[in-house]
Amino acid sequence: MSSGHVGSFALCGLHMTRPCQLIAITAILACVGSDGRWVLCTACAAEQLADSVAPIASAWAKREAAIRTVKLVWHHQTTRVGLKERLAAASAGKGRPVKDAWKGKEPSLTTYDTHSTLFLDGDYYAVTQDIDDSQADGLVVGGAGIAQHTKRFLKGDESGYFSSKLPGGRYDTGVLAHRKDFNQADLPDIRPLMLALRPLTPKLGDIDLQKYRVSATRPVLRGSSCLVLERIDDDTFRRSFWVDPARDFIILREVVSDQGHEVARTDVAYTQNPSHFWIPQDWDVVIVRRQTGKLVLSIHGVAQTVAINAPIASKEFSLSFPDGTYVYDQSGDHLIERLVGAEPLAAASTGSNRFWLIAGVNLVALMCVIAYLVIRGRQSSA
């Protein structure tokens, strides 16, 4: 190919749509090698591919800024591996690890419904969820059913979690922690909404586009020609995203692979609301075992009501623990465990204070023993 041909091809590229320009990158980014033949300039190609992510990042950032607040009520049905056989196998295993006792057995599947509400205000986040299914295989006790209320929140540097007690449980459970400890938005029943509404926000969608490039492949999903964002590095655990350039690069699919095997897939379908925002309408999640491809979890979610940019009360981004809740408070420098309605059960840091507390107790005990021996020795000599 002559330099004139390259120049003509590049000029024609000005009239291509941007997706077509991306596909043509490998054809126009070339340079002459020492033997006079044309070779691909990989450094230039990498730079252009990185630049191609810029419009996606811009569209996502504008979308997040425009959709400031969200209240989304949805229902989803979960099917997952049940626990009956696993618990029975563990009981019969006489101390063998559960995973070994379960080998060779075909696990049952259990299905239950969850009713949830999501609140977003910028990077503030809260989700409440309710499950009430007496027929489902219990999360802790097999066959005990599931009746549970949970709430999670993230507000500034604060995060927290509440869970009502499960069948066979003793306490409701509460956790207060730092923002850095928060990972609840990555749960498979929440992840689809974060991909749709907060893909860039740290701790929510948390996608770092600097680690991605646009693939040359152009798959079609439900009639939409997609760009595929793929990882630049060679990490064995990888996520890729299918985005729709015709609709502000919204994410239609996330694929997670482990050592080259697909282990999870999330598909999101959208509808356009009266304000012309693309809003998640329904979604599906499938997670399988890497070794066998057998189902671990599937979720089908459907949005019921969605309110965009309406005021949200500050109380939604906080927790109020009822009496009888066992709380693990890690929000300060010390871990504090307490039962709501009672005095704190324990207060100790995770570092040096705990060491000195234990050392002090041991020292007091040692002094008591020494004192006892001294007194007994005096009595004997008398």
The predicted pLDDT at position 233 comes to 84
Please state at what angle helix 54-66 crosses helix 42-52, rounded to 10 degrees.
20
Q: DSSP strand E in the chain: where? A: 30-32, 38-40, 69-81, 109-121, 124-133, 146-155, 158-163, 172-178, 212-214, 220-221, 224-225, 227-231, 237-244, 250-258, 261-272, 278-288, 295-308, 325-329, 334-339, 344-349
What confidence tens digit (pLDDT) does each residue in 77-132 have?
999 876 555 555 445 544 444 445 445 556 677 888 999 999 999 999 999 999 87
CA distance 143 to 149: 18
Identify the three-state secondary structure at position 160: strand
What mean pLDDT value characterizes the chain? 77
Residue 197 has pLDDT above 60, yes or no: yes
The predicted pLDDT at position 17 comes to 44
Residues 134-144, mean pLDDT to the nearest whole number:
60
Q: Characterize the bridge pairing of strands 172-178 and 325-329.
A: parallel
Please report how many Cα atoms fall inside a 13 Å half-sphere around the Cα of residue 341, on the Cβ side: 9
The predicted pLDDT at position 294 comes to 86
Question: 149-158, 169-178, 255-264, 353-362: lowest mean pLDDT where?
Answer: 353-362
CA distance 68 to 207: 18
CA distance 99 to 93: 10
Per-residue burial over 219-232, b if 16 or more Cβ lie within 10 Å, else e, is eeeeeeebbbbbee
Please report how many Cα atoms fall inside a 13 Å half-sphere around the Cα of residue 157, on the Cβ side: 3
Residue 194 has pLDDT above 60, yes or no: yes
The predicted pLDDT at position 54 comes to 94
Residue with tokens 């002459």: 32
Which residues lie closer than 8 Å to 222 by C-beta, 6 or more apart? 252, 269
Confidence of residue 291 (pLDDT cuts 50, 70, 90): confident
Could you give the angle at the alpha carbon of 20 between the alpha carbons of 42 and 65, nearest 5°? 95
Region of 202 (left: φ > 0; alpha: ψ -120 to 50; beta: rest) is beta
The predicted pLDDT at position 34 comes to 39
Residues 289-295, mean pLDDT to the nearest whole number:
85
The predicted pLDDT at position 145 comes to 66
Residues 282-294, mean pLDDT to the nearest whole number:
91
Residue 267 has pLDDT above 70, yes or no: yes
* Structure token pair of residue 197: 């509404």
Amino acid identity at 73: V
**Count of Cβ atoms closer than 10 Å to residue 170 Cβ:** 9
**pLDDT > 90: what percent of the chain?**
50
Question: 41-50, 152-161, 277-286, 366-375: lowest mean pLDDT where?
Answer: 41-50
The residue among 196 and 169 whose pLDDT is bigger is: 196
**pLDDT > 70: what percent of the chain?**
66
Which residues lie closer than 8 Å to 279 by C-beta, 6 or more apart? 196, 270, 271, 272, 273, 303, 306, 308
Residues 275-303, mean pLDDT to the nearest whole number:
93
The predicted pLDDT at position 81 comes to 79
The predicted pLDDT at position 219 comes to 94
Confidence of residue 191 (pLDDT cuts 50, 70, 90): very high
> Which pTM was predicted?
0.73
The predicted pLDDT at position 139 comes to 55
What confidence tens digit (pLDDT) does each residue in 315-364 have?
999 999 999 899 999 988 888 898 998 765 544 444 444 444 444 445 54
The residue among 240 and 51 whose pLDDT is bigger is: 240
Burial class (CB in 10 A: 0-12, 13-18, 19+), 42: exposed
